[in-house]
Structure 1
Amino acid sequence: MPSVLIPMADYGHDPTEVAIPYSVFKAAGFTVDFATETGKTPECDRKMLKGITGTLLGADAKAKAAYADMAATSASFKSPKAWTDPAFSLDEYDLVMLPGGHDKGVRQVIDSKAIHDHLARFFPGTSRSTDGAKKTVAAICHGVQILALETAKIDTDLSASYKSIIHACATTALPSFMETSIYNTTRLFLGDYYKTYGACTPNVEDYVKCGLDNPEKQFSAGPGMLGGKMNEPFIVEDEGFRYVSGRFPPDAERLAERLQGLRKHVLS
């Protein structure tokens, strides 16, 4: 059966974007491992699980239950691998799943040169044009930024483009209209929480587009705020690579289900 790796920061990932895919993968019989920088047990963003923010803005009951079950029963979640270990490699995995999250702690993954290097070596195996390793990569929300951002570009002017790991791929990520809207709505009581790199920094969409060959054609924001369809699940699957992306927590289950079908087809 397929083997999956979910890299995580020590703290801060969105619980829905971790636990819902995990539960889908486990139900399908996939082997799921986790990795953190030094092997520390990860913890998802408490603001999305508890208190008034957890109630009004956070994970729904299904995601909270899935997170509690994962944290209590997954041996790999409790004792993850260390991506900085010299022996660590992505080669043994069929699928790498990159969750997102707004808390500034997720920068531990986004900023990691080691993770970027591991993914740069792994990603060519997702090409549909070869009969090689037949790997798959998935990312959601800020997880796309891990693939789309060179570490050196994080605090610089994004006016000059560059080639990211997914430079040739169709993708989505957290759209600017969503990020700007939630930031403006919550900044009076949450400050710059919804801006992972701080107030006045570019949006996730800006970072992602900067590394694409043709951003206006390759990037899809999904349904807008009008018409009541914004929360309908939306994912993007690239035609040239086994790469699937989502925007935010409501997309997580559809993303995982598509990956379940894709991986079973690839390995059959």
Structure 2
Amino acid sequence: MGHMMATGPIKVAFLLADYGHDPTETAIPWKVFKKYGWEVDIVTEQAEVPKCDKLMLSGWTQKLLGAPAPAIDAYDALTHSSEWQHPMSWMREDFSLTDFDVVFLPGGHDKGVRQILDSARVHQLLAEYFPLTKKPSKKCCAAICHGVQVLANSTGLSGKSVLQYVTTTALPGLMESAAYQSTRLFLGDYYKTYGAGTANVEDFVKKSLNDPSKQWRSSANPALPFVVEDEGHNYLSGRWPGDAQLLAEKVVRLVHGIHHIQHKAEHRPA
């Protein structure tokens, strides 16, 4: 039971649209968190069982562009889990993210993810939760790819994004544009969530930052995993599926470190 805390397992919420999330960015973090005994809940709009982007899972699109074999295996395990089969609803009046230690936002560029990107209810929930990650705190938020855009769209009472002052990364515009240009002849505007000619994820996220020149971090090298951790909040971000494993592992290290420090403080002799 070395992975469990004295107060019980870490509770994680995965926020998902009904369809379209990237399977690697969803299943790999889930697998990592479950390995450490964390308790995961899947949260969709009306408690519908979600489905990840099928083009990333099978056929020629999977072979050329999609999830690698370990991610497909992890996704298969995820979809057979109790939490996947029995999701929670973010529309329930009594639902709050404040009940969770970690909020995780996978990405995905299929147009189905607009359901979460544009959800006023999700924005409200994240505007309530994200400030609680300010250090020192036990709560943590992590996002990858388009998941960061969900946070960028979430504004508090000030009308400013919850990301206003944090350091972050997300899907770089160069990567998104390259994927779109190289596939548009046979996939159309598949790689543009809001359609051809619309802004990239990087553009959306940068608009939410107080000073993008200082707060935006990126690496255009897809071969090396890249994760950004903010100094003032328990907030971590990644760019694309290749960062999912490292992002999840860094979340585990951060959260276990926080709880270890708190445990020592609580048991320090008076």
Structure 2 counterpart of 1:13, one-letter code? H
- Determine whether 1:55 maps to 2:66: no
1:102-181 aligned within 5 A: 102-128=109-135, 130=136, 134-149=138-153, 163-181=160-178
Contact 2:126 2:154 in 1 (8 A): no
Task: Report Cα offsets for 1:40-90 as digits up to 9, x if no partner.
Answer: 000000000011101110000000000001101x21111100000111111
Q: Check the 8 A contact 1:163/1:213 in 2, yes or no.
A: no
For the aligned residue pairs, the C-alpha RMSD in angstroms reads 1.1
Task: State the AA in 2 paired with 1:91.
Answer: T
Match of 1:13 in 2: 21
AA in 1 matched with 2:258: V
* Alignment size in residue pairs: 249
- Contact kept in structure 1, 2:110 and 2:193, CA below 8 Å: yes
Contact 1:172–1:246 (Cα < 8 Å) also in 2: yes
In structure 2, which of residues 188, 196, 200 is the aligned counterpart of residue 199 of structure 1?
196
The residue number in structure 1 matching 2:264 is none
Q: What is the letter of the counterpart of residue 232 of structure 1?
A: L
Q: Which runs of 5+ in 2 are unaligned?
A: 1-8, 261-270
- Paired residues of 2:127 and 2:154 also in contact (CA < 8 A): no
Query: What does residue range 190-229 of structure 1 map to in structure 2 within 5 Å?
Result: 190-222=187-219, 224=220, 229=221
Partner secondary structure for residue 102 of structure 1:
coil
In structure 1, which of residues 216, 226, 243 is the aligned counterpart of residue 235 of structure 2? 243
TM-score of the aligned structures, taking structure 1 as reference length = 0.91
1:183 to 167, 180, 183: 180
Please list every run of 5 or more consecutive structure 1 residues that lacks an aligned counterpart in the other structure: 152-161
**Structure-1 separation of matches of 2:197 and 2:36:** 42
Write out per-residue CA displacement over residues 18-39 of structure 1, whole angstroms, 9 at most, x where no aligned residue. Answer: 0000000000111011000000
AA aligned to 1:58 is G
Does structure 1 residue 254 correspond to structure 2 residue 254? no
- In the TM superposition, residue 150 of structure 1 has moved relative to its aligned partner by 5.0
Tell me if the contact between 2:222 and 2:242 (Cα under 8 Å) persists in the aligned partners.
Answer: no
Which one has a bigger Cα radius of gyration? 2
TM-score by length of 2: 0.90
Report the AA paired with residue 193 of structure 1.
Answer: Y
Separation of aligned partners in 2, 1:31 and 1:267: 16
1:95-149 Cα offsets, whole Å, 9 max, x none, are 0000000100001011000000000000111001x4xx52100000000000002
Deviant stretches of 4+, over 3 Å: none
1:3 has 2:11 as partner: yes
Q: Which residue of 2 aligns with 1:159?
A: none
Q: How much does 1:163 deviate?
A: 2.6
3-state DSSP of counterpart to 1:209: helix
Contact 1:127 1:134 in 2 (8 A): no
The 5 Å alignment of 1:93-104 reads 93-104=100-111
What's the counterpart of residue 230 of structure 1?
222
Q: Percent identity?
A: 52
| Conserved? CA contact 1:2–1:264, under 8 Å | no
| Structure 1 residue 230 displacement after superposition | 2.5
2-side partners of 1:188 and 1:221: how far apart? 28
